[in-house]
Amino acid sequence: MGKKIAIAADHAGYEDKEKIKKTLDELGVEYEDMGTNSTESVDYPDYAKKAAEAVARGEYDQGLLVCGSGTGMAIAANKVPGIRAAVAWNEEIARLARQHNDANVLSLAARFTSPEELDKIVRAWIAADFEGGRHERRVKEIEAIEKEEFKTAS
């Protein structure tokens, strides 16, 4: 696949992160585990930030985050300039996040997604590529918001 992935989780996502690593191994995807390393309570923004910053610096092509709902880590990751983190709860949402939104970070909900579905979601997201075309203009608009250059349509 040729992609390099930064993967991180909080305590609620730790066990699923470990399962996702096996999926990445099966796919031959290179990754770095950025923590956490147990189910002991931690602050999810620390791990989301670490992975998102590594993606934003270009050290990794994409990031995978896992927390209880997926939402907290996505919000934290989206605070890092250059990150477009999406929460996916099924294969189609994950695929569309890559194809249409060029999401470079995917956040998953450990408490609401079965391990089997997580596996399918990860596989779909890794296999998908940004389609560009009509979607590219919209991604550039997102980047303009980040740079405070966005002008609203009248």
Q: pLDDT tens across 50-79, in order? A: 999 999 999 999 999 999 999 999 999 999
In a domain, residue 152? The reply is no
CATH assignment at residue 43? 3.40.1400.10
Is 26 a residue of the active site?
no
Residue 126 domain-assigned (yes or no): yes
9 within a domain of the structure (yes/no):
yes
Is residue 40 annotated as a catalytic residue, yes or no? no
- What is residue 149's predicted lDDT score, i.e. its pLDDT? 62
User: Per the structure, how many domains does the chain have?
Assistant: 1
Among the options 6, 48, 52, 67, which is catalytic?
A: 67
User: Is 78 within the bounds of a domain?
Assistant: yes
Q: Exactly one of 4, 100, 120, 135 is catalytic; which is it?
A: 100
145 C-beta neighbours (distance < 10 Å), count: 9
**pLDDT at position 153:** 56
Q: What is the pLDDT of residue 134?
A: 73
Q: Give domain status of residue 51, yes or no.
A: yes
Residue 87, strand partner residues: 107
Mean pLDDT by 10 residues, the chain (154 residues): 90 97 96 97 98 98 97 97 96 96 96 96 94 75 71 56
Flag whether 43 is in a domain.
yes
Residue 153 maps to a domain: no
In a domain, 74, yes or no: yes
pLDDT at residue 140, rounded to an integer: 78
Q: What is the pLDDT of residue 47?
A: 98
* E runs forming strands in the chain: 4-9, 30-33, 62-67, 85-87, 105-109
Range of the domain at 87: 4-146
pLDDT of residue 152: 61
pLDDT at 39: 96
